Structure 1
């Protein structure tokens, strides 16, 4: 062994285990590097300056603090939501919708009404059945057979 100043050198032990956060190959399940990288480059969480530390309550009386904590928590939940799988997102939405009141359901319905165009609705489900049958009566037999293959509702109307 080589010595320095009469003292033997100690062997340096190499680190054989890496923390899981640095080595994703040790993680079981589907790789999440794409979602994690996307979340890390997200502009939602911008700075640690003015962040609330260890908050377990929401101040009701102080509007500025309340707004700041709400924004931080909203960004945090949004960050988590971005990293979840489709099934996790659906379960989360199910839990949230179970806690909603009637006015919140109306808000969600209005939101969808504004963003989902009416032209994508099935007219046979919107119109009364006799009007759908009247429209289908103008079709030739070959087109009527094709319409019967679209959906169960169209099949029912085309057989009338």
Structure 2
């Protein structure tokens, strides 16, 4: 009888540990999914901002919309780059002109910096996606009977 009690205690201990690990992995997965969705939203915002800037350059009196309000701080320097004239490495964006018929110019270094930032963010998203997938796989291994939302 003592042997059975010992086996039962051991089994319950292992089951408790497995449940703890499952809960921990589930919490980690939730955090990674939140981070992934945040990064995807940032990338989508940057892509839409990039497309908007390529189509129509902003004028100095442009007011940011509610969706742009959160990115106002990060895009302020880019807007300044677009409206400021520089003498080094100028080029126009697709030959477009604003309402005052002024050329919109960017330095090559500024374009490279924006592209580098975008690539960095895309790489970080890919890395987080891989980590999220790995956690999902671990979670599926830890508790094969559960279903993920």
Would the TM-score normalized by the shorter structure come out above 0.5?
no
Q: TM-score scaled by structure 1? A: 0.20
Give the alignment's TM-score, normalised by structure 2: 0.21
The higher relative CO (CA closer than 8 Å, separation ≥ 6) is in: 2
Higher helix share: 2
